[in-house]
Amino acid sequence: MFVPIYDGVPLRFTRSAFITYGLVAACTAIQLLLRFGPQQESEIAVMAGFGLIPSVLFGTAVLPEGLTHAPAWLTPFSNILLHASFAHLLGNLLFLWVFGDNVEDAMGHARFLAFFFLCGLGGSLAHALAYPASEQPLVGASGAISGVIAAYLMLYPRVRVWGLAFKWIPVHIPAVYTLGGWIVFQAASAWFDPQGDIGWWAHLGGLATGAVLTPLFIRRGVALFGRRSARP
């Protein structure tokens, strides 16, 4: 288990990664509204209506009548902004906060926003295909953030990242080891815990989507795998 804290990589092309910060703010605001806002429907109802339910997406099940919900085709995107708990939210947003700004800097604001949601879509579809009959909602930005992690690892494999191993041991080691180990953990968990409550296949789908899209979305002149970049 690794929790990132700081990477120290300065922005090269932009003054502020406002898309990253906006996504963090949006997810936080939605979670606060769900927990403390004037609710007409329970959190469970919101998760069911706007989370991704594979059997509903594929048309083999339907939601209860009277439940406010997004169209089934939209839920592979709407589920990205929902989280099951504040702990779930915090875990995801730490990774986005530490790594998202540099990926956004390397791609540009608009392309990073598209990249984020496409990685989320890839994660959502991977989960749905792995569990097509499931009636449990999938929520969380994990798939999208997994794509961001893939991009960061391809851009800055040698950067030394500050973080906590096993939640309390301070470490300062290259991203290729910290994030590479995280990826291995996701793959092992998907294999050994196929019926768990965590969307491991969403993580892997987001990672694969991010790895494929990163070379297509980065700015011209930005190098991959720690090579020296051309001047902007």
Pairwise CA distance, residues 93 & 80, whole Å: 12
Instruction: Give the residue numbers annotated as catalytic, written as ranges.
Output: 142, 203
Helix, strand, coil percent values for the chain (each to nearest 5): 60, 10, 35
105 in Cβ contact with 11 (< 8 Å): yes
Long-range contacts formed by 169-173: CB under 8 A, 24+ apart: 171/2
Contacts of 149 (CB under 8 A, 6+ apart): 95, 99, 179, 182, 183, 207, 210
54 in Cβ contact with 128 (< 8 Å): yes
Kind plus residue range of the DSSP H or E element containing 122: helix 109-130
Pairwise CA distance, residues 107 & 224, whole Å: 12
Pairwise CA distance, residues 80 & 114, whole Å: 13
Distance from chain centroid for Cα 99: 11
